[in-house]
């Protein structure tokens, strides 16, 4: 694993953007794995600027997002489809049909999970997967206890995850109880993985991750079983390591 230590959130975002843009410059038909949450927002702002300031073209790029809440329609303000459109896709020249996110409304959910995993194999796997990390070590929505062999599946969200994501909803009770997420194995199919962590609230998780002990109690630890992982971490997130 390659560790890149930077000063702060802005530096983390711009170093990540450099790696993503380099991937697109190397291969204009790149497949990128994308994440939601607040961590990649600065990266997405940089990537939007890259289109006008550095002539980066997303015309032939395909994206695969990690996860989606169950029960939220695409146009729901808290759906991850809505988040991605608003924070990135609408501001870059990517054709919307090149952007892929599980459908949180599709039923039965197991069929949607199988469709999405087949899509990962068909157009992917991603050349580069972006990941944030939950405070409990979750990646995507793979909560502690998820086996390494997991493919795209439906999960029940932990109380801690629902609590920390409640800030995006007007009422905690509105946070969905279930989500569709790429599994650990789906994520590990990617050629390269870029993990981002910023801020004091991630310090414990970063310390745990850097211990290097692989266990399903801390899903991010499975990334140690992948050969091309880069972690970009800022001072606050690294403060307990
Ligand atoms: C959510 C997402 C994850 C994300 C995590 C951390 O649970 N499903 O993909 O990594 O939140 O969020 P944040 O970046 O806001 O700390």
Locate the domains of the chain by residue range: 2-238
CB atoms inside a 10 Å sphere around CB 228: 13
pLDDT reported for residue 209: 98
**How many A from CA of 140 to the centre of ligand 1?**
7
**Residue 8 designated active-site:** no
Residue 164 has pLDDT above 90, yes or no: no
| Catalytic residue chosen out of the listed positions 100, 127, 138, 208 | 138
> 4 pLDDT band (50/70/90 cuts)?
very high
> 116 pLDDT band (50/70/90 cuts)?
very high
Assessment of whether the complete model's pTM goes beyond 0.90? yes
pLDDT reported for residue 112: 98
Question: Looking at ligand 1, which atom is closest to the CA of residue 40?
Answer: 14
**How many A from CA of 40 to the centre of ligand 1?**
9
User: Does CATH place domain 2-238 in 3.40.50.1360?
Assistant: yes
38 lines ligand 1 (CB under 6 A): yes
Cα separation, 133 vs 53, whole angstroms: 30
> Mean pLDDT across the stretch 186-207?
98
Best mutation site among 9, 39, 209, 237 for ligand 1 pocket (most ligand atoms within 8 Å of CB): 39
Question: Looking at ligand 1, which atom is closest to the CA of residue 67?
Answer: 8
Q: Are 202 and 239 in contact (CB under 8 A)?
A: no
User: Which string of b and e fits 40-57 if b means at least 16 CB within 10 Å?
Assistant: bebbbbbbbebbeeeebe
**Residue 138 designated active-site:** yes
31 lines ligand 1 (CB under 6 A): no
> Mean pLDDT across the stretch 94-104?
98
Closest by Cα among 61, 66, 65 to 23: 61
**Residue 76 designated active-site:** no
**Residue 143 designated active-site:** yes
Token duo for residue 84 = 């991605």
pLDDT reported for residue 74: 93
pLDDT reported for residue 1: 96
Reported as half-sphere exposure (CB side, CA atoms, 13 A), residue 65 has a value of: 27
pLDDT reported for residue 6: 98
pLDDT reported for residue 160: 87
> 197 pLDDT band (50/70/90 cuts)?
very high
């Amino acid at each position: 694993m390659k560790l890149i230590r930077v000063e702060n959130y802005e530096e983390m975002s711009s170093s990540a953007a450099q790696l993503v843009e380099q991937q697109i410059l190397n291969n204009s038909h790149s497949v990128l794995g994308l994440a939601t949450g607040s961590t990649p927002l600065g990266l997405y702002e940089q990537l939007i600027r890259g289109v006008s300031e550095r002539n980066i073209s997303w015309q032939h790029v395909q994206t695969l997002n990690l996860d989606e809440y169950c029960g939220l329609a695409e146009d729901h303000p808290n759906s991850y489809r809505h988040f991605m459109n608003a924070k990135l896709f609408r501001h870059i020249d990517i054709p919307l049909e090149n952007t892929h996110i599980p459908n949180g409304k599709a039923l039965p959910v197991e069929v949607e999970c199988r469709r999405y995993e087949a899509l990962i194999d068909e157009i992917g796997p991603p050349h580069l997967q972006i990941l944030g990390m939950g405070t409990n070590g979750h990646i995507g929505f793979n909560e502690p206890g998820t086996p390494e062999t997991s493919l795209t599946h439906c999960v029940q969200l932990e109380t801690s995850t629902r609590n920390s994501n409640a800030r995006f909803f007007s009422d905690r009770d509105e946070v969905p109880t279930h989500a569709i997420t790429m599994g650990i194995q789906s994520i590990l199919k990617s050629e390269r993985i870029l993990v981002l962590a910023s801020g004091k609230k991630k310090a414990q998780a970063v310390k745990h991750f850097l211990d290097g002990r692989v266990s399903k109690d801390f899903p991010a630890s499975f990334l140690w079983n992948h050969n091309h992982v880069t972690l970009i971490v800022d001072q606050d997130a690294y403060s307990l390591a």
